[in-house]
Amino acid sequence: MGQSESVLILGGTGQAGAGAAALLRRWHPALPLTIAGRDLDRAQRVADELGTATATTIDLRRGDLGLPADHHYSAVVAALWDDHLHGLRYAQRHGLPYLSISSGLTDIAPEVVAGAQRANAAPILVASHYCAGTVVLAALHTARRFGRVDSIRIGAVLDETDTGGPAGIADLERWSTATTAGLVRRDGVFTWVTDPDAQADVRGTDGTGLPGRSIAILDVPSLALATDAPDVRFDFAVGESTGRRRGEPASFEVRIDLEGTDREGAPISTSRYLVHPAGQRPLTATGIALGVERLLGLRGEAVAPGIHTPESLLDPAYAVQRLEETGATFIDAPGGG
């Protein structure tokens, strides 16, 4: 992929898009970036801070995104909900890798169908997982010493002040409108659960419990199918994080519990938290940046056209290394292995 062509970041002025752009600039200083948003002045400010970046306006209601016909790009990143799928269609028409993070499990069907109908047009990275797939990759990294994984349980706390900008808040509202049921894998079967089975107590790193629930999220099928674990569940709570209870900024905390056997067949289990003192933004930004890096062939082999997920393209150990560079850490949960 010619590096003279720019990565087009739709929603590049938002938290996730701007954060991913900053990481890509740090990792690949010569990689051209185009920050696309509705407000050109704001996009220009983000581009100026990055250097080697340009700014443009977009119109997601138009098939051409409102972009000049003579502009060429190396990839399209939808760091917001591509509600008309014009960003995806633009990428397919031009044979460009495409990455999206805002469809959620409940809205990926149009993306998947569009990708299937034109399977040879472009690689599509469906990264509408929690924090753009970084939690899945962290869990898979934790599972590396298991010979067999029997169960995976994720418990995520999102601080109520850390839901992102307007686009992030709109995503949460849209997903909760689509379904209040949670998706779990139970005894090898993907199953919808409702109250009271959907309810859960999600504990932060300081032991404080928050009322949470199982949610419909792509992390469940991704983890289940990557590990063959017959029991997988992702519980989610919105409330005050441990960081804010200490009078600090909102923190990010996800508990990862795994049970199974080691490579010799002996029972093992582990319980760890993935935490970040700066909240969810660094993890989401890292997930996007890792996906772009891989799609462009800046790390690893060229990605073939078709539908992909973060765990199908990205090395968990490398992802964790990049997360730790941003300030993320693992800590053992009380009683965890």
> How far apart are the C-alpha atoms of 16 and 213, rounded to whole Å?
25
Structure tokens at 19: 């954060």
The stretches of the chain forming alpha helices (DSSP H) are 15-27, 40-50, 86-94, 109-117, 134-142, 166-178, 219-227, 242-245, 281-295, 310-313, 316-325
Handedness of CA 310, 18, 32, 61 (dihedral sign): positive
Residue 336: per-residue pLDDT? 62
pLDDT at 84 over 80: yes
Q: How far apart are the first and last CA of the chain?
A: 44
Question: What's the whole-number average pLDDT of the chain?
Answer: 94
pLDDT in tens, 208-247: 999 999 999 999 999 999 999 999 999 999 999 999 999 9
Residue 285: per-residue pLDDT? 97
> How far apart are the C-alpha atoms of 39 and 187, rounded to whole Å?
49
CB 210, CB 239: distance < 8 Å: yes
At 74, is the secondary structure helix, strand, or coil?
A: strand
Residue 44: per-residue pLDDT? 97
> How far apart are the C-alpha atoms of 234 and 198, rounded to whole Å?
10
At 38, is the secondary structure helix, strand, or coil?
A: coil
pLDDT in tens, 186-211: 999 999 999 999 999 999 999 999 99
Q: 316 preceded by cis ω (within 30°)?
A: no
> How far apart are the C-alpha atoms of 216 and 218, rounded to whole Å?
7
**Side-by-side strand order, sheet with 123-126:** 53-57, 33-37, 6-10, 73-78, 98-100, 123-126, 306-308
pLDDT in tens, 88-125: 999 999 999 999 999 889 899 999 999 999 999 999 99
Instruction: Specify the pTM.
Output: 0.95
Q: Nearest 5°: CA angle at 162, between 280 and 326?
A: 25
> How far apart are the C-alpha atoms of 220 and 291, rounded to whole Å?
19
